[in-house]
């Protein structure tokens, strides 16, 4: 493991961040070409002449000259990767986005080819025009189709300037059928593709011959892929490629993670003997100086609740945007992004046209327009979600704001890193809290950042649904012998421990449905012919190609103008609640709903004002373990009277009140508050471990408490703790002695405590899609597949009843435990709590920490009362008890952020 | 099995826990949406669905026929799921065996949208087929619910289901009968069929079928923030959406 630490302290380059300007220029050029091409009937693609004449010089000198011609000098870590590549090594390069990782991975094979083919043989233009560009040598896997075009331009630039006869093309879901057909006869020298398109390539029988000269696979944004089933899909494809090309080199590009070695091992896979393959970990540029600060409201309520501050900081946010040239305002949800965009626009109507909105539900053209607008500095501000976390470099961005807690250190770094690409600039991120306690998160994140405590991403282990899909993929692509495929699959890290029983079950599943005894009549997908397992017929092959992949499409409905274009997609759930004539905000516009037809919501523009915003049921973010630990540290300091920095200073009155009424928990202390109100007996626990863990703990504790005697609980959880509310009092001390917080018997208690069956039924949605139980349909042809569509819930019920031993059901349960309930993290939390001390405080009324939980529970309840009124009703008596009589504590100092 | 007696259109009827309606005066059992052969249609295109759904359905049908001693059975459409020719021999053999052994009951199929595509059942199953509506006063049998003022309508097609809220945030969706002043909806009989959420209107009564019992639901049911309005059934195609709504139905 070589980390190139020493080099990056003295960046030598002259120009702006490495790949950035270049990509921008090339992308613009490409777009111009495309526009010109569309205009001309026969676009004659002007072949740019090489700008670097290499002749017989050492290729590395030519490459350095090319870097110089762009105004750069290669970074030491880039040259290190080139040397490692030329020495036949594989590995992982980690650094923030936009720091030259692309050329670190790309130049190696270029140098190698130039060494192998001296200048005389490199007749570029003629060779290329005759279709004699070298066959596929480099495969570049990217998680986002949107990144493919930019990557293509970046890879092509040095090729063209050095006059190499290479071709660089993309193949994704967006690629024209004509191009795809040409590619299936001959692939370009370098191919940029997605995991799904790569799997699709494996379904063509002549693919092995197309991959005969493959030397290198680069997997971009590996940190993003590796903890999902798409990552496993990539692992399986890599295992297949390595079988065809045993000396294949693999390089991953990743953000910095807490588990880099696992990331590398997962990418490189295992040897046939079951050992991890050797590989390098090379660190790219150390992050530039990174500043994190916050906007702090002038007045602070002492009883924090989520959403409390709302849009109150809008003037400060506007001031911050005015300060910068181009700003990104990140939000944690799409709905928040819509709200903030609307708010900005109504406060600054003069910004119409120079501020924009970007999130995953918007139409792709719109998103591309916004991305271009950021690149060429046309836009002053973009309100966005995680869709702009990845990829695309935006040089003009000099200000990043984050609405709400960043929830994870890695996310904070990634988002902050979107700014400060100008020479000499620093990356700066300004947090805009939505409630007072989020200021603690920010202070904690700054601490964690100082310690480089960055989150790990756990890879997915042994998903059998995906293995079934892959086996059919290989069957379609020419067939397999079971023992061989099993051994090949075991060379991936995900399936290194695949048992023979599991493998045999997968084989049964794709050939007979059930086991040998319970075979499903009329069913087979894969059949044996002379020992080779192949697809039953062309129909099976065709259907399979249409359903490759692991992404569960949200039940989204297109939103389209009655006369005009598509605006984007909104969850059907939301549309279903609209009546004709209802007005809502989407894509930054006010729209009037007309009707639903052909799976499309038809709308018109509207001038009415509304606050109705679609919600999307994405997973709500929870505090990461690293950030949660840092928050506990911050609270521990506060307990000792240490309030460092403006954020902690701002929440000081809240925490002091908390200390007065109860206590601020120490880092090794589990605080339990018990309080009786008209609602009943409340128990508040504060493990400070993130919402997901708290939901699991709440259910677990409720279950364990109920073992002492019949009792009913209402549960609520947030990032700081959870509440158990019951009509009767609880024998807490007795329960604690009986092991309420014990990590023992978890495997039994967790499923018993939750409606595990219902959770598994929901989890089955993804599994059913991946395992091929749900046919997604042919593009543009909804009707013909209707007769073979069933909801995943119905499928789950049928399997649970008629084939209860089906391993996909077990997988659903396992995924619920591991993914949704974070069982391992739950176990670690219990170990931590059991090792620490427990403090029980009987309090007279809910404390500031408890209040946030009370509000969250109120939010879940159905009531005709306005939510804000209910919160006011809750807070009034508490404020009276806290003294001052005044609902707010005025803060000194001028307005604006500090 | 606990059934429930009530009087509609002046006639005494029973809502049976088998998901059927029993009309003793005419010795008629009314069922809807059997979707025979649905599982085998899936299997034939390479989607593995376990066997057992058809046998279960036939056993439940036998139970209803035996308990009532019905002489006549009316199927309110969607008897077969897909083209008869595609219904596998395995399933068809099972149906023939059932027809030869089961009670000598006269079967009338009021064709539904699926029957139009799959064609009439093979003649040896001895099933008479008519287009909707079929008038047997005071009732009108049809597949898709419609209010034409031509009698008290009994219909299927929507696979009616209703979501009940439990303690905490638990919710469960159950098949149901909806009995209105002008017509009634019968739950889907087939066990491999989804549910379409309905929102009973004023004057409607709803009865859920749960664990061998028919229970009246007090209306209006608070469907919670994520429920589907009834009129959107036309768009709720099979794969369904998000949490708590996994009851996609195909009519």
Confidence class for position A392, pLDDT limits 50, 70, 90: low
Q: Is the pLDDT of residue A1 over 50?
A: no
So what's the pLDDT on residue A12?
A: 37
Domains by residue range for chain B, with CATH: 4-235 (3.60.21)
Alpha helix (H) ranges present in A790-883? 792-802, 807-815, 823-835, 848-860, 867-882
Contact B43 A520 (CB under 8 A): yes
Q: From the list A577, A787, A799, which residue is nearest B50 (CB)?
A: A799
Q: Please report whether residue A701 resides in a domain.
A: no
Query: Which residues in chain B have their CB less than 8 angstroms from residue A791's CB?
Result: 194, 238-240, 246-249
The C-alpha of B37 sits at a distance from chain A's nearest C-alpha, in angstroms, of 11
So what's the pLDDT on residue B246?
A: 31
Quick: pLDDT tens for A468-521. 999 999 999 999 999 999 999 999 999 999 999 999 999 999 998 876 667 777
So what's the pLDDT on residue A863?
A: 44
Question: A200 and A92 in one domain?
Answer: yes
* Last residue within a domain, chosen from A450, A484, A508: A450
Q: Is the pLDDT of residue A403 over 90?
A: yes
Q: Is the pLDDT of residue A39 over 70?
A: no
Mean of the per-residue pLDDT values of chain A: 84
Q: Is the pLDDT of residue A895 over 70?
A: no
Contact A798 B47 (CB under 8 A): no
The C-alpha of A69 sits at a distance from chain B's nearest C-alpha, in angstroms, of 53
So what's the pLDDT on residue B207?
A: 92
So what's the pLDDT on residue A388?
A: 85
Q: Please report whether residue A826 resides in a domain.
A: no
Over residues A367-392, the mean pLDDT reads 86
Q: Is A747 exposed, middle or buried (0-12, 13-18, 19+ CB in 10 A)?
A: exposed
Question: A205 and A102 in one domain?
Answer: yes
Query: Which residues in chain B have their CB less than 8 angstroms from residue A555's CB?
Result: 239-242
Give the DSSP per-residue string, A132-149: -S----EEEE-S-HHHHH
Q: From the list A525, A573, A860, which residue is nearest B169 (CB)?
A: A860
Interface test with chain A among B44, B48, B50, by most A beta carbons within 10 Å: B48
Tell me which residue of A187, A181, A263 sits closest to A222, measured CA to CA.
Answer: A263
Q: Please report whether residue A827 resides in a domain.
A: no
Quick: pLDDT tens for A712-740. 788 888 999 999 988 888 899 999 999 99
Quick: pLDDT tens for A16-36. 333 444 444 455 555 555 554
Q: Please report the residues numbered 800 through 829 in chain A whose beta carbons come closer than 8 angstroms to any beta carbon of chain B.
A: 801-803, 806
Quick: pLDDT tens for A871-892. 666 667 777 777 653 333 333 3
Confidence class for position A8, pLDDT limits 50, 70, 90: very low
CB-based contact (8 Å) between A860 and chain B?
A: yes
Nearest CA in chain A to B191: A798
Of residues A469 and A149, more confidence is placed in A469
CB-based contact (8 Å) between B213 and chain A?
A: no
Over residues B153-160, the mean pLDDT reads 94
Question: A546 and A431 in one domain?
Answer: no
Q: From the list B222, B234, B243, which residue is nearest A762 (CB)?
A: B243
Q: Is the pLDDT of residue A897 over 70?
A: no
Q: Please report the residues numbered 28 through 57 in chain B whose beta carbons come closer than 8 angstroms to any beta carbon of chain A.
A: 39-53
Question: A387 and A352 in one domain?
Answer: yes
Q: Please report the residues numbered 695 through 734 in chain A whose beta carbons come closer than 8 angstroms to any beta carbon of chain B.
A: 712, 714-715
Tell me which residue of A109, A106, A108, A114 sits closest to A55, measured CA to CA.
Answer: A114
* Last residue within a domain, chosen from A605, A639, A671: A605
Over residues A701-709, the mean pLDDT reads 87
So what's the pLDDT on residue A22?
A: 46
Which DSSP category does A270 fall into? Answer: B
So what's the pLDDT on residue A739?
A: 92
Quick: pLDDT tens for A217-252. 999 999 989 999 999 999 999 999 999 999 999 999
* Domain membership of residue A524 as a residue range: 464-550+757-819
Contact A788 B42 (CB under 8 A): yes
So what's the pLDDT on residue A555?
A: 64
Which DSSP category does B55 fall into? Answer: H
CATH number of the domain within which A338 lies? 3.40.50.300
Query: Which residues in chain A have their CB less than 8 angstroms from residue B241's CB?
Result: 554-555, 571-573
Question: A222 and A154 in one domain?
Answer: yes
Quick: pLDDT tens for B209-227. 887 888 888 766 544 333 3
Of residues A77 and A387, more confidence is placed in A77
Percent of chain A at pLDDT exceeding 90: 46
CB-based contact (8 Å) between B82 and chain A?
A: yes
Q: Is the pLDDT of residue B247 over 60?
A: no
Confidence class for position B230, pLDDT limits 50, 70, 90: very low
Over residues A397-417, the mean pLDDT reads 90
Residues forming beta bridges with residue A290, ordered by sequence position = A427
Q: Please report the residues numbered 571 through 590 in chain A whose beta carbons come closer than 8 angstroms to any beta carbon of chain B.
A: 571-573, 576-577
Over residues A318-339, the mean pLDDT reads 91
Over residues A553-572, the mean pLDDT reads 80
Query: Which residues in chain B have their CB less than 8 angstroms from residue A536's CB?
Result: 46
Are B206 and B178 within 8 A, CB to CB? Answer: yes
Are A609 and A624 within 8 A, CB to CB? Answer: no
Nearest CA in chain A to B234: A597
Contact A765 B241 (CB under 8 A): no
So what's the pLDDT on residue B103?
A: 67
Question: A499 and A425 in one domain?
Answer: no
Q: Please report whether residue A659 resides in a domain.
A: no
How many structural domains is chain A composed of?
Answer: 4
CB-based contact (8 Å) between A765 and chain B?
A: yes
Contact B169 A524 (CB under 8 A): no
Q: Please report whether residue A52 resides in a domain.
A: no
* Last residue within a domain, chosen from A283, A298, A324: A283
Confidence class for position A253, pLDDT limits 50, 70, 90: very high
Of residues B219 and A338, more confidence is placed in A338
Residues 6+ apart with CB under 8 A from A71: A13, A14, A15
Contact A543 B46 (CB under 8 A): yes
Contact B52 A801 (CB under 8 A): yes
Of residues B140 and B200, more confidence is placed in B140
CA distance A144 to B160: 41
So what's the pLDDT on residue B20?
A: 96
Question: A259 and A137 in one domain?
Answer: yes
So what's the pLDDT on residue A778?
A: 54
Q: From the list A514, A791, A803, which residue is nearest B246 (CB)?
A: A791
Largest CA distance in chain B: 52
Question: A304 and A272 in one domain?
Answer: no
Are A215 and A109 within 8 A, CB to CB? Answer: yes
Q: Please report whether residue A201 resides in a domain.
A: yes
Contact A788 B51 (CB under 8 A): no
Q: Please report the residues numbered 126 through 165 in chain B whose beta carbons come closer than 8 angstroms to any beta carbon of chain A.
A: none
Quick: pLDDT tens for A642-661. 999 999 999 999 999 999 99
Query: Which residues in chain A have their CB less than 8 angstroms from residue B194's CB?
Result: 790-791, 793-794
Interface test with chain B among A795, A805, A857, by most B beta carbons within 10 Å: A795
Q: Please report whether residue A665 resides in a domain.
A: no
Q: Which of A31-40, A307-316, B198-207 has the lowest mean pLDDT?
A: A31-40
Nearest CA in chain B to A524: B46
Output A751-756 pairs: Cβ under 8 A, ≥24 positions apart: A751/A813, A751/A817, A752/A703, A753/A699, A753/A700, A753/A702, A753/A703, A753/A704, A754/A696, A754/A699, A754/A821, A755/B170, A756/A813, A756/A816
Q: Is the pLDDT of residue B85 over 70?
A: no
Of residues A158 and A147, more confidence is placed in A158
Query: Which residues in chain A have their CB less than 8 angstroms from residue B228's CB?
Result: 576
Query: Which residues in chain A have their CB less than 8 angstroms from residue B240's CB?
Result: 555, 791-793
CB-based contact (8 Å) between A518 and chain B?
A: yes
Q: Please report whether residue A512 resides in a domain.
A: yes
Of residues B73 and A568, more confidence is placed in B73
Pairing outcome for strands B106-110 and B72-75? parallel
Percent of chain A at pLDDT exceeding 70: 84
Q: From the list B50, B51, B168, which residue is nearest A715 (CB)?
A: B168
Contact A520 B228 (CB under 8 A): no
Contact A789 B237 (CB under 8 A): yes
The C-alpha of A279 sits at a distance from chain B's nearest C-alpha, in angstroms, of 41
So what's the pLDDT on residue A213?
A: 94
Residue A323, both tokens: 């300060």
Residue A345, both tokens: 């626009």
Interface test with chain B among A792, A793, A805, A809, by most B beta carbons within 10 Å: A793
CA distance A721 to A705: 17
Q: What element of type H or E holds A556?
A: strand A556-561
User: What is the layout of strands, in order, in the sheet containing A600-605?
Assistant: A566-571, A556-561, A600-605, A589-597, A583-586
Contact B48 A520 (CB under 8 A): yes
Question: A332 and A308 in one domain?
Answer: yes
Question: A538 and A596 in one domain?
Answer: no
Over residues A300-313, the mean pLDDT reads 75
Over residues A282-297, the mean pLDDT reads 84
- Measured in residues, chain B has a length of 251
Contact B52 A577 (CB under 8 A): no
Q: Which of A370-379, A756-765, B55-64 has the lowest mean pLDDT?
A: A756-765
Over residues B74-96, the mean pLDDT reads 82
So what's the pLDDT on residue A820?
A: 66
CB-based contact (8 Å) between B80 and chain A?
A: no
Question: A112 and A22 in one domain?
Answer: yes
CB-based contact (8 Å) between A775 and chain B?
A: yes
Contact A520 B246 (CB under 8 A): no
Contact B239 A555 (CB under 8 A): yes
Quick: pLDDT tens for A158-200. 999 998 999 999 998 888 889 988 898 889 999 999 999 999 9
Contact B43 A860 (CB under 8 A): no
Over residues B57-74, the mean pLDDT reads 94
CA distance A700 to A752: 8
So what's the pLDDT on residue A40?
A: 41
Question: A425 and A377 in one domain?
Answer: yes
Of residues A606 and A381, more confidence is placed in A381
Contact B242 A862 (CB under 8 A): no
* Residue pairs spanning A and B at CB distance below 8 A: 153
């Amino acid at each position: 493991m070589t980390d190139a630490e020493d080099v990056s302290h003295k960046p030598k380059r002259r120009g702006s961040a490495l790949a950035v300007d270049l990509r921008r220029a090339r992308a613009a050029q490409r777009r111009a070409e495309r526009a010109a091409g569309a205009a001309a009937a026969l676009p004659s693609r002007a072949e740019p002449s090489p700008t670097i004449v290499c002749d017989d010089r050492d290729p590395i000198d030519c490459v350095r000259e090319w870097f110089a011609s762009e105004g750069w000098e290669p970074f030491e870590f880039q040259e290190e990767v080139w040397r490692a590549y030329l020495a036949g090594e594989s590995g992982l390069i980690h650094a923030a986005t936009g720091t030259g990782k692309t050329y670190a991975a790309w130049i190696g094979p270029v140098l190698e080819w130039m060494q192998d083919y001296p200048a005389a043989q490199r007749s570029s233009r003629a060779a290329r025009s005759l279709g004699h560009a070298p066959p596929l040598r480099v495969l570049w896997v990217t998680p986002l189709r949107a990144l493919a075009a930019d990557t293509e331009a970046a890879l092509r630039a040095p090729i063209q300037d050095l006059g190499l006869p290479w071709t660089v093309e993309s193949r994704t879901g967006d690629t024209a059928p004509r191009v795809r057909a040409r590619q299936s006869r001959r692939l370009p020298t370098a191919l940029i593709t997605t995991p799904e398109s790569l799997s699709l390539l494996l379904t063509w029988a002549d693919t092995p011959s197309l991959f005969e000269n493959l030397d290198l696979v680069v997997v971009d944004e590996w940190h993003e892929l590796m903890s999902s089933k798409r990552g496993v899909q990539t692992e399986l494809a890599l295992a297949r490629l390595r079988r065809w090309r045993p000396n294949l080199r693999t390089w991953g590009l990743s953000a910095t993670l807490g588990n880099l070695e696992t990331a590398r091992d997962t990418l490189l896979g295992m040897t046939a003997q079951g050992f991890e393959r050797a590989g390098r970990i090379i660190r790219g540029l150390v992050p530039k100086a990174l500043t994190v600060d916050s906007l702090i409201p002038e007045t602070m309520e002492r009883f924090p609740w989520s959403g409390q501050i709302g849009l109150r900081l809008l003037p400060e946010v506007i001031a911050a945007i005015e300060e910068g040239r181009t700003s990104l305002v990140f939000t944690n949800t799409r709905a928040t992004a819509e709200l903030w965009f609307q708010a900005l626009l109504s406060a600054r109507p003069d910004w119409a046209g120079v501020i924009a909105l970007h999130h995953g539900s918007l139409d792709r053209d719109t998103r591309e327009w916004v991305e271009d607008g950021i690149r060429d500095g046309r836009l002053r501000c973009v309100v966005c979600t995680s869709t702009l976390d990845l990829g695309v470099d935006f040089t003009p961005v000099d200000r990043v704001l984050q609405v709400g807690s960043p929830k994870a250190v890695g996310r904070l770094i990634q988002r902050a890193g979107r700014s400060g690409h100008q020479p000499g600039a620093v990356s700066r991120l300004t947090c805009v809290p939505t409630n007072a306690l989020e200021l603690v998160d920010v202070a904690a994140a700054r601490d964690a950042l100082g310690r480089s405590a960055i989150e790990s991403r756990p890879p997915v282990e042994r998903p059998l649904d995906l293995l079934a899909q892959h086996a059919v993929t290989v069957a379609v692509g020419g067939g397999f012998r079971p023992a061989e495929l099993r051994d090949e699959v075991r060379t991936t890290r995900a399936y290194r421990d695949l048992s023979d029983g599991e493998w045999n079950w997968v084989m049964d599943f794709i050939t007979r449905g059930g086991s040998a005894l319970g075979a499903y009549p009329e069913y087979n997908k894969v059949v044996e012919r002379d020992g080779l397992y192949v697809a039953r017929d062309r129909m099976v092959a065709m259907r399979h190609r249409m359903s490759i992949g692991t992404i569960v499409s949200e039940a989204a409905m297109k939103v389209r103008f009655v006369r005009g274009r598509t605006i984007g997609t909104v969850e059907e759930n939301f549309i279903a609640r609209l009546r004709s004539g209802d007005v809502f905000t989407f894509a930054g516009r006010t729209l009037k709903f007309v009707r639903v037809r052909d799976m499309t919501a038809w709308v018109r523009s509207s001038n009415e004002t509304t606050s109705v915003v679609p919600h999307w049921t994405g997973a709500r973010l929870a505090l990461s373990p690293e950030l949660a630990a840092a928050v506990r540290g911050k609270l521990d300091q506060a307990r000792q009277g240490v309030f460092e920095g403006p954020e902690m200073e701002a929440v000081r009155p809240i925490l002091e009140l908390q200390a007065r009424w109860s206590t601020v928990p120490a880092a090794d202390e589990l605080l339990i508050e018990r309080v009786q109100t008209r609602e009943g007996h409340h128990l508040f626990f504060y493990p400070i471990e993130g919402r997901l863990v708290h939901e699991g703990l709440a259910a677990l504790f409720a279950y364990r408490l109920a073992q002492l005697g019949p009792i009913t609980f209402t549960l609520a959880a947030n990032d700081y703790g959870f509440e158990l509310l019951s009509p009767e009092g609880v024998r807490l001390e007795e329960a604690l002695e009986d092991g309420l917080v014990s990590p023992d018997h978890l495997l039994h208690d967790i499923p018993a405590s939750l409606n595990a069956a219902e959770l598994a039924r929901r989890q089955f949605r993804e599994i059913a899609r991946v395992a091929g139980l749900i046919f997604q349909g042919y593009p543009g042809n909804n009707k013909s597949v209707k007769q073979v569509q069933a909801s995943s819930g119905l499928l789950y019920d049928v399997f649970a009843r008629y084939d209860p031993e089906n391993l996909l059901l077990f997988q659903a349960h396992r995924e619920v435990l591991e993914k949704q309930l974070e069982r391992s993290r739950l176990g670690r939390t219990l170990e931590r709590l059991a090792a620490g001390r427990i403090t029980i405080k009987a309090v007279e009324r809910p404390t500031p920490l408890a209040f946030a939980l009370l509000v969250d529970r109120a939010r879940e309840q159905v009531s005709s009362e306005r939510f804000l009124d209910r919160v006011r009703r809750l807070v009034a008596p508490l404020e009276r008890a806290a003294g001052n009589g005044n609902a707010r504590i005025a803060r000194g100092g001028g307005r604006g952020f500090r | 099995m606990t059934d429930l007696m009530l009087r509609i259109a002046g006639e005494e009827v029973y809502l049976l826990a088998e998901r059927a309606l029993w009309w003793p005066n005419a010795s008629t059992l009314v069922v809807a949406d059997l979707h025979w052969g649905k599982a085998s249609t899936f299997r034939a295109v390479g989607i593995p669905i376990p066997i057992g759904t058809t046998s279960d359905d036939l056993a439940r049908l036998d139970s209803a026929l035996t308990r009532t001693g019905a002489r006549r059975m009316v199927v309110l459409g969607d008897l077969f799921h897909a083209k008869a020719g595609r219904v596998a021999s395995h399933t068809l053999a099972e149906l023939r065996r059932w027809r030869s052994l089961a009670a000598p009951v006269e079967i009338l199929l009021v064709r539904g949208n699926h029957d139009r595509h799959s064609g009439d059942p093979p003649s040896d199953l001895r099933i008479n087929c008519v287009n909707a509506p079929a008038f047997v006063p005071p009732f009108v049998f049809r597949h898709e619910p419609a209010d034409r003022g031509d009698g008290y309508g009994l219909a299927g097609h929507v696979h009616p289901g209703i979501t009940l809220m439990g303690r905490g945030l638990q919710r469960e969706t159950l098949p149901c009968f909806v009995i209105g002043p002008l017509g009634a909806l019968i739950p889907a009989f087939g066990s491999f069929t989804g549910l379409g959420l309905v929102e009973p209107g004023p004057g409607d009564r709803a009865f859920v079928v749960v664990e061998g019992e028919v229970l009246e639901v007090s209306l209006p049911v608070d469907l919670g923030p994520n429920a589907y309005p009834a009129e959107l059934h036309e768009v709720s195609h099979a794969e369904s959406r998000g949490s708590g709504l996994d009851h996609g139905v195909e009519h």
